[in-house]
Amino acid sequence: MTDHLASARELKARLAYPPAPGSFSDAEVAGLPDPVRRYLGASIALGAPLAAAARFRMSGSIKLGRRWVRFRAQQIEAPHQGFVWAARAGGFIVGSDRYADGQGAMNWKLLGLIPVMHANGPDVSRSAAGRVGAEAVWVPTALLPRFGVAWNATDPHHITANYRLDDAEIELHYTLEDDARVRSVVFDRWGDPDGSGTWEHHPFGFEVSRYSTFDGVTIPSAGRAGWFYGTDRWSEGEFFRSEITDFHLVTEAR
């Protein structure tokens, strides 16, 4: 794949999509169900740029086997195009996860020299597309209807976003607090979390523990994520704990 040959830095630059013209106003959410309007209104300040992408840094812990390892990472998230997550884990494993142009890949090396993981192909791509959608919670402006996102609400605390990313149908289930901030994002993600060799859909979730405001958007800035969310296997499926330490919407043309 072309993007597999490109460096993470080159792909991050290409995913820095410029914002749509104008700025956020109540007109952007007119006609949406009230819980959705409340969520988007709580997440996007009036006058904020209509960003399609964001760059940020994070730190936290990732579970490798049975061991939790500290990491630091940089990410660009363009919910309608792709992402690159470039990290150093445990001080010695360096690499990236990525998705663009319908294809996903994972490339990790020990000390930046010895390959320890490389994966791509249809299953990896399908799983990575779901991750792009779930992490759109960090770019709420890209979830506005003008970007092709359809919303519905089942009650004041449960809303669903749907959109298409390449060949993938993205369906995200948000649980809201009373103040309309997100408590959790849950979706059925394609994967093989048990390493059985059989890929299928499994519940996957991100549970929010803190919020912060950057560049006119209020987003989950800390939380934990993993497989089997909402089931009795959540404790074993959790593998990612993170906090965002720096965040900027992409507000200029490339």
Residue 73 is assigned to a structural domain of this protein? yes
Strand partners, 35: none
Residue 254 is assigned to a structural domain of this protein? no
Q: Are 130 and 229 in contact (CB under 8 A)?
A: no
102: left (phi over 0), alpha (psi -120 to 50) or beta: left
Q: Are 56 and 244 in contact (CB under 8 A)?
A: yes
Residue 191 is assigned to a structural domain of this protein? yes
Residue 140 is assigned to a structural domain of this protein? yes
pLDDT at 254: 60
Q: What total number of domains does the chain contain? A: 1
pLDDT at 3: 39
Question: Residue 95 sits in which domain range?
Answer: 2-249
Burial class of 116 by CB neighbour count within 10 A (0 to 12, 13 to 18, 19+): middle
Residue 17 is assigned to a structural domain of this protein? yes
Question: In terms of Cα–Cα distance, which of 161, 137, 155 is closest to 43?
Answer: 137
Mean pLDDT, rounded, for 150-178:
97
- pLDDT per residue as tens digits for the range 176-201: 999 999 999 999 999 999 999 999 99
**How far is C-alpha 134 from the chain's CA centre?**
4
Mean pLDDT, rounded, for 165-186:
97
- pLDDT per residue as tens digits for the range 83-113: 999 999 988 899 999 999 999 999 998 876 6
Residue 200 is assigned to a structural domain of this protein? yes
Residue 145 is assigned to a structural domain of this protein? yes
Give 218's contacts (C-beta < 8 A, 6+ positions apart).
Answer: 42, 43, 44, 45, 181, 211, 212
pLDDT at 252: 84
Residue 115 is assigned to a structural domain of this protein? yes
- pLDDT per residue as tens digits for the range 28-76: 999 999 999 999 999 999 999 999 999 999 999 999 888 999 999 999 9
CATH classification at residue 181: 2.50.20.10
